[in-house]
Structures are given as C-alpha cells and as structure tokens.
Amino acid sequence: MAYDADAITVLKGLEPVRERPGMYIGSTGPSGLHHLVYEVVDNSVDEALAGQCSRIEVTILPDGACRVRDNGRGIPVGMHRDYPDKSALEVVMTVLHAGGKFGGEGYKISGGLHGVGVSVVNALSRRLEVEVCREGGRFALTFVDGGKPVGEIRRIGDSSTTGTMVTFWPDGSILEETDFRAQTLVERLREMAFLTRGLEIVFRDERPSEPVEHVFCFEGGISDFVRHLNASKEALHSLIVSFREEVGEGEVDIAMQWNTGYYEGIHSFANNIATTEGGMHEEGFKKALTNVLNKYARAKGLLKEKEDNLLGEDIREGLTAILSVKLRNPQFEGQTKAKLGNTEMRSIVEKATNERLAQWFEEHPVDGKIIVSKAGQAARARIAARAAREATRRKSLLESAGMPGKLADCSSRNPELSELFIVEGDSAGGSAKKARNPEFQAILPIRGKILNVERARPDKMLKNEEIQALITAIGAGIGADFDLSKARYHKIICMSDADVDGSHIRTLLLTFFYRQMPELVKAGYVYAAQPPLFRVDLGKDTHYLKDEGALERFMGEHSNRKIDPQRFKGLGEMDWEELGATTMNQATRTLLQISVSDAAIADDVFSVLMGEDVDARRTFIQHNAKDARFIDI
C-alpha cells in the first residue's frame, strides 16, 4: 500500500482539546506551553527516524510565535480518502490522532509524549500557518481560533525540495502563559539532538535585538550526551563505554562513564521520551550491570571469596548512563506515564548489557580495575553512612520531642496543612517566628550556607548539623530510606534574600532536596518564597511590589503622583509585620513551586551549579541570572 493520504486514520475532532487541555499537554502552565513546541518537533524527529529528514529549525519569532521547519517528506497535500472535500493536510491539522502514525503502516517508530499529534497544537493556538513543499509545489493553509481553517489549501508556488513549516501563536485565553523561555527549549532540543545521532537541530531566538542561535548535531549520539553530562564533573576513567544493538524492529543504545562524584545519573528514554519513572528497560540494565561487575571483580580477584557481593547502589555511585531504546508499541505506565511497561524490553536490555558490557571489561582491564575499586569504596562508605544515620536517629530521640532545638514547630500534626519555612539567618528567623501562624507554620532558621552535598561524601554530609536538623524536622528519612508518607509538612518553603547570596543558599537547599529527597521535589512539596523587592508609601496606603516590572507598571498607573520606592536589600530589613504580610500570609503571599520535569536536564543544571567546574558555573549563572524562573527546572 502506498503510504500517503489514505493511510491517515481518523478518530475525532478538536473541541475536547480546548475543553480539557491538561489531558493532552499535561498542564496549561509553562510546561504545557513548551510541550506544544515539542509536539511539533516530535513529528519532524519522526521523519528523521524514518530516514527522511536531516535538519530541523526551531525559531521564536520577534512577535513571540514559534516556527518549526524541517526537510522531511512534507505532510501529504492530496485529498483525503475519508473526507472527500478535505486535503490530507487539513485532516492532519484538525483531527486528533490523524498524524499518520496510527494506521499500522507508515512510521516504524515514533515519539511524541501522548502521540496526539500536531492537531493539538492547532487546537491551542490563536493562529497557525502551515506550509508544505512536496510534489514540485509549495502549499499553504492557515487556521485561526483553535483550528478553524481560513479557506482551503492553496498552491502558492513551485518548489524543488520537500519539507514542512509550521508557525503557531499559542492561545493566551487557554494557556496561562504564552512567553517561550529560550533556555528550556535549548536544553530539550539539545537532548533531542543527542538522542537522534546525526540529526541537525537549529534553535534561533529572534526576540532579542541581537538574535541568539544554537546548532546541535552530534555524530556520537548518546556517547556525546554522556560526555556532556560528565563535562562539569571529574571523569573516573577516560573512555566512554557504549554499545548499540538492533533487536527485531527496535534498538537498544547504551552509553556510560563513571565520575568521581557520589550520585547515580542513569537517564532512560523510550522512543526519545524520558522515562523518569524507569521501567522494564531500566530494570534489565541495572540487573545486568550488577551481575557483570560482580562476576568480573571475582574473576579478577578484585573481590575476595569471603567478601560480600557489591550492591547495585555501590556500583552505580558516580555513574552517568544514557539508556535509549526504540520499540514499536511502547506502553507508558505509572503516575506520570513515564515508566516503560513492555516486559520484553527487560530481557532484551539485560541480555545485551550482559554480553556487551562483560566484553568491554575484558578488553579494558585498566578502566575495569578503577571502576571496581570505586564501587568497593562506595560499599565501605555505605556501611559508614548507615552507622552515621543510626547515630542521627538515636541522638534525635534523646532531644526533646525528637526535634532539633532551633525548630519552632507548629502545633498542628496534620502534614497536609503544615508548612515549614527554612529561613536564612537568626534575625530573619526571629521576625519569621513573630509573624507566623503557630498553628500550622513552623520555622527552622539555618546559619549561612549549608553544606554543598554535590561535593561531599554521604557519611560526611550526615554529620553536618544543619543537614541533620533538616532531616529530623522533615521526618521522612533520607536517600534510599526516604519515605514520602512520613513527611511532617507538605509545604517546605525556602525563604532567602532576593540577592546573589540568597539565591546561592536557595540553590544549595534545592540541591540537597533534589539529590537526597527527590520524591519530595517530585511530589511538589518544595517551594521558594517570593519576598517583594520594593515598598511604596502613597498617602495612607502601603504597596509591596515584587520586582522592577511591577514597580514600572505601578509608576505608570500613578503617573500624576510623586513616588519614592524603598528597595528591600534583604529579609532582615523588613519588620516582622511586613514579612508576614508580604511573604508568609497565605492570603497575600506568592510561592514558587519547584518542579523537575526532566531529570537529565535537572541533573545537568545541578552539576553545573554545584560541581567542580567553575567556568561552566559562571557561564550558566551569567546566562540565567536575569530570569527568575531558572530555578523552575
């Protein structure tokens, strides 16, 4: 069967998308907005996976629209079998699930988070223009108001090439925000380029007076990804372990390298979608990894007969790995549909890893010995850390009510209502204690900068007093023992100054939560307080304004009047009433919820921010300092 206009199967119209956008793009916030871009790009990447496209350009236009152009085959433009009066292009753009991937024929393997296709983007755009080059012509069609076609498809010229160009203006009446954030797009597009070896992805932001451009193309594929993730760390051995196997209609692609750090960074993908909840492919990989290393260590006498086997967690300490599988009918399960359910993938990945990794170790005895020795050290540190944890637990039982002395706890014992404010400095801590509602707001003052957990061994970290106080106050344990259901507060709010030091302290705290209590972050329990930057007294009234933008707007609204704004330099400058009214009172404050949508990207950001590489950190901060949302990864 010719795969063309006829292969497009039709399921339903676009109204459901506008009625329940969350079902299709996850949320109507920033993550949903960026999802629209990925949905279009995914279609172009599918063309690349089918061997039909080598270049994708993503451009944010000066007026805020997003344009995605590829050199694939172009969306079919002929009349559609099931809709005699409509072109296939119109059907693809206005009918859910009509992307051409559902007929069985056509794409062997395709990505896309929900596989709903580019029509969802149309449904959520106030305007969308599509141009296709195909069959010697250039064709155009425009839609407005969430997918209403303006006339019919028109042939607007000749063309000797093929490809698709989609330009869309997100609909601000449905999406909470329509401003694309360049850094978010850059990170995800770079990730897509790593995952699709040899595909060129260009990103251009034309909003600034001097447009910014990035070109991503990685001939090394996921090996380059691992090199990139480890670039801000110190590699334990120079080579990157990598192997790729075609299995049936799919493939398994693995690259890995250990670094001298203490955290595990295994990032798995299925059809280019991040499987942050793991799944069968990851299970198979971990099982084989533990097996291969123990066998190798015993065979080479690096592990003595009377010694215990190395545990998986010992072996994975400091490991950066990318595991990317492609398969025909991926089953996504789990709370966020980010867990691969296909059972056959477990044995396929396990078998490939058992064979190819064992072979690699045989061929690289010098690296092999270094890696096994690192795992041995991790095992000894694990035993020491357990002892330190036990000591923390015993010590906290001896103290009054088991809680740290500095904690001003709340009286409520209902975690859903309870909030913990982590406050920098004793003076701000004092104001916060006066301003709080003691029934459900607890205050934990911390002194200055807490330990950087990115660079400390787990047993050393557990001996740190501020860290101990945090663990005890939250009450849910730490690391592998962490139990979300024991968390004593469902809002944990980092309250620090709006200056550079304050943002460093906040980043140290977030690093600690992300590395040691990732479930807490994923559950959405972690927040940053947003103290205002300005105070303006007008007559009898006092106004608090959160940033320069708000101050400018306020001055614009009161342009008859003389305004003398006071700038807060830190939390300590506010009296307790002010702190309460602006930052703590539930009725008047704003909180920023910390989210982690992509663990590989978050891992990268934290390594850069907190790791050894000073230059990388400086560059990152210079690029992101102006954007207050940067902590919202």
Which residues are known catalytic residues? 424, 497, 499, 501
Q: CA triplet 253, 254, 258: central angle to 5 degrees?
A: 165
Q: What angle do CA 24, 202, 235 make, to 5 degrees?
A: 95
Closer to ligand 0RA by Cβ: residue 166 or 462: 166
Question: Segment 110-149, which members bind ligand 0RA (CB under 6 A)?
Answer: 118
Taking CB under 6 A as the binding criterion, the range among 25-33, 71-79, 168-176, 243-251 that sits at the site for ligand 0RA is: 71-79
Q: Which residues contact 474 (CB under 8 A, 6 or more apart)?
A: 420, 487, 488, 489, 492, 517, 520
Min. distance of Cβ 58 from ligand 0RA in angstroms? 12
Q: Helices 599-610 and 182-195: crossing angle, nearest 10°?
A: 110
In terms of Cα–Cα distance, which of 443, 577, 454 is closest to 511?
454
Give yes or no for residue 4 binding ligand 0RA (CB under 6 A). yes
Q: Is 47 in the site for ligand 0RA (CB under 6 A)?
A: yes
105 is an interface residue for ligand 0RA by CB under 6 A: no
Consecutive H or E run containing 269: strand 265-270
Nearer to ligand 0RA, 35 or 506 (CB): 35
CA gap 633, 626 in Å, rounded? 15
Would you tell me how many other CB atoms lie within 10 Å of the CB of residue 1? 9
Q: CB-wise, 3 or 554, nearer to ligand 0RA?
A: 3
Q: Which of residues 17-46 bind ligand 0RA (CB under 6 A)?
A: 43-44
Q: Is 71 in the site for ligand 0RA (CB under 6 A)?
A: no
In which residue are the tokens 């190798």 written?
Answer: 296
- Check residue 493 for interaction with ligand 0RA (CB under 6 A): no
The neighbouring-strand residues paired with 252 are 245, 325
The residue whose Cβ lies closest to ligand 0RA is 100
**Coil/strand/helix, residue 622:** helix
Q: CB nearer to ligand 0RA: give 167 or 268.
A: 167
Site string for ligand 0RA, 563-582 (x = CB under 6 A): --------------------
**For 317, which DSSP code?**
T
E strand spans, 453-495: 491-495
Judged by CB under 6 A, the stretch of 68-76, 196-204, 232-240, 431-439 that binds ligand 0RA is: 68-76
Q: How far is the CB of 92 from ligand 0RA (least distance, A)?
A: 6
Looking only at the bridges linking them, the beta strands covering 419-424 and 441-446 are parallel
CB of 119 to ligand 0RA, least distance (A): 10
Structure tokens at 399: 């103290």
Q: What gap in Å lies between CA 62 and CA 416, rounded to an integer?
A: 44
Q: Which of 76, 170, 404, 415 binds ligand 0RA (CB under 6 A)?
A: 76
Which ranges constitute the DSSP H helices of 14-61?
A: 15-19, 21-25, 30-49
**Which residue type occupies 84?**
P
Q: Does 72 bind ligand 0RA (CB under 6 A)?
A: yes
d(CA 128, CA 141): 9
Stretch that binds ligand 0RA, among 67-75, 121-129, 255-263, 379-387 (CB under 6 A): 67-75
In terms of CB distance, is 65 or 372 closer to ligand 0RA?
A: 65
Query: Taking CB under 6 A as the rule, does residue 70 contact ligand 0RA?
Result: yes
Please give the residues from 151 up to 180 whose contact with ligand 0RA meets the rule CB under 6 A: 164
Residues 447-476 that bind ligand 0RA (CB under 6 A): none
Q: Minimum Å distance from CB 59 to ligand 0RA?
A: 15
Q: How far is the CB of 85 from ligand 0RA (least distance, A)?
A: 19
The answer to whether the beta carbons of residues 484 and 518 sit under 8 Å apart is no
Distances (CA, A) of 303 to 89, 367, 374, 604: 63, 16, 12, 33
The dihedral sign for the CA sequence 293, 296, 298, 304: negative
Selected from 34, 35, 73, 382, the binder of ligand 0RA by CB under 6 A is: 73
Residues near ligand 0RA (CB under 6 A) are: 3-4, 43-44, 47, 70, 72-73, 75-76, 92, 99-100, 118, 164
